[in-house]
Amino acid sequence: MEKLHFERTPLEGAWIVKPDPYVDQRGQMIRTFCRKEFADHGIEFDVAQTNASINNHAGTLRGMHCQVEPVAKGKIVRCVRGRVFDVIVDLRPESPTYLRHFGVELSAENMKALVIPKSFAHGFLTLEDNTELHYMVDNFYTPEHGRGLRYDDPVLNINWPRAVEHISAQDETWPLLKTGADG
């Protein structure tokens, strides 16, 4: 029977989840979410909404987005067509990994998902044309609580694997983080 494999990331509470497919002559069946298996790894996740991000061109950047309290939300993100470089940033001031980031390639081929805790910024860069991601989120979208970070912020120093060619005006103009030297 299909099951899920959980791998810790360097950021506390964030996980990579990979299915173990059941394969026969018809193709394969994979489990993408199981509340019990997630809970066995200390991950409580109550799906409030599911979304898809459909991206026409390689080099499309979406992010770095988050939603703040009182409606912060966690996500589980999986690439179902194409490939992305997916990045998360820990925005929990009390965390030992505050402002550290982690990136992983998600693809239809590797079938990995990324579990993103509340109070993390999230973004991705498409590596192929016609890339699609599916999200499960544990809270509802509330625009007035939406925030973002610049994908090219020198404080974060994210090493994106290719040039950004397509980006929204909002994502390009999020404010830079402040360093100790400038405030």
pLDDT tens, residue by residue, 107-154: 999 999 999 999 999 999 999 999 999 999 999 999 999 999 999 999
* Residue 29 included in any domain: no
Is residue 58 one of the residues assigned to a domain?
yes
In a domain, 17, yes or no: no
Of 5, 22, 57, 65, which one is the catalytic site residue? 65
52 in a domain, yes or no? yes
pLDDT at 178: 83
Please list the ranges in the chain whose pLDDT falls under 70.
1-2, 179-183
- Structural domains in the chain (count): 1
Residue 145 annotated in active site = no
CA distance 131 to 75: 18
The question of whether 135 is a catalytic residue gets the answer yes
Tell me if 9 is assigned to some domain. Answer: no
In a domain, residue 67? The reply is yes
Residue 31 domain-assigned (yes or no): no
Print the domain residue range for 70: 47-175
Out of 134, 135, 145, 166, pick the active-site residue. Answer: 135
CATH number where 63 lies? 2.60.120.10
In a domain, 23, yes or no: no
Helical ranges in 11-158 per DSSP H: 35-40
